[in-house]
Amino acid sequence: MTNKKPINQKVKNLEGIHLYHFSRSNCSMRVRMVLEEKSIPWTSHHLDLRKAENATEEYFSIHPKGLVPTLVHDGVIHIESTDIINYLDETFPEPALRPNSSKYQQDISDWMSLAANNHIHVKAFMFSHQIGASMKKTEKELTLYRELQNNEELLQFHAENSSAEGLSENRVNNATKILKDCFFQINETLDTTKWIGSQSFSLADITWIPLYITLKNAGFLFSDFNNVKRWAEQIESKPSFQKGIKEWLENVP
């Protein structure tokens, strides 16, 4: 869902590029990295998810699911990180972050969709291995969240994480299996191409690098995926990675 007319009147008056984001959110990282790749000036609106700064009436009037990131460009709201980076690439074409050939274009879109479709599993792994305790909602916070949130999947996810038992073993095992399969596919494709799905650095790489970084920090094992490790090293040396991901992780812990 992009190009949404804001309900929030304050947002409607924003000029230029504004990003509502969280330092450690993988979906926010990909947008910040594209902004840095293209040297686009932007204004930061940082929301700490651990303090539930996204679960407020104010923020739900900007993003209907209360998630980060939200990009506002001259008063128009853009949500869904992969849609946002596509939008930025179309609106600010230099440097291009999609290869010219139509064959590769489709592959890039498919790799981006694979990440978007499996985001709930990334979330399950992260919550169960690293951030679940800090993201637990109190009974009072859950009551407010139920009033604000219409999305059943998110309601169920946060209620389960906030329970005494946390996320179920079944959910976490399933998520781990699916993520291993995704990285197996990426490792295979990197046998023949330098970057994910193409010979040039693209939105597919920017979509996946935050998942690699956050999963690795949460203890996901990449020891079987040598191509993936090599691919990640290539990206980690880029200034856009340093500014859009690393510096935010170090400076806003």
Ligand X SMILES: N[C@@H](CCC(=O)N[C@@H](CS)C(=O)NCC(=O)O)C(=O)O
Task: Check residue 245 and report its DSSP letter.
Answer: I
3-class SS at 151? coil
Q: How far is CA 181 from the centre of its chain?
A: 19
**Of 69 and 244, which has the nearer Cβ to ligand X?**
69
Residue 214 beta carbon to ligand X: minimum distance, rounded to whole angstroms: 8
Residue 81 beta carbon to ligand X: minimum distance, rounded to whole angstroms: 4
Do the beta carbons of residue 175 and residue 132 sit within 8 Å?
no
Q: Which stretch binds ligand X (CB under 6 A): 62-70, 101-109, 196-204, 239-247?
A: 62-70
Closest CA to 144 of 162, 122, 130: 162
Query: Any idea which residue has 């020891």 for tokens?
Result: 223
Position 26 contacts ligand X (CB under 6 A): yes
What is the distance between the alpha carbons of residues 137 and 36, in angstroms, rounded to a whole number?
33
Position 17 contacts ligand X (CB under 6 A): no
Residue 26 beta carbon to ligand X: minimum distance, rounded to whole angstroms: 5
3-class SS at 218? coil
Position 81 contacts ligand X (CB under 6 A): yes
What is the distance between the alpha carbons of residues 194 and 180, in angstroms, rounded to a whole number?
20
- The correct pick among 17, 34, 68, 114 for binding ligand X (CB under 6 A) is 68
Task: Check residue 133 and report its DSSP letter.
Answer: G
Q: Which stretch binds ligand X (CB under 6 A): 19-27, 37-45, 94-102, 240-248?
A: 19-27
Position 209 contacts ligand X (CB under 6 A): no
Token pair in block for residue 75: 């008063």
- The correct pick among 14, 35, 67, 179 for binding ligand X (CB under 6 A) is 67
Which residues would be at the binding site for ligand X (CB under 6 A)? 25-27, 49, 54, 66-69, 80-82, 116, 119, 154
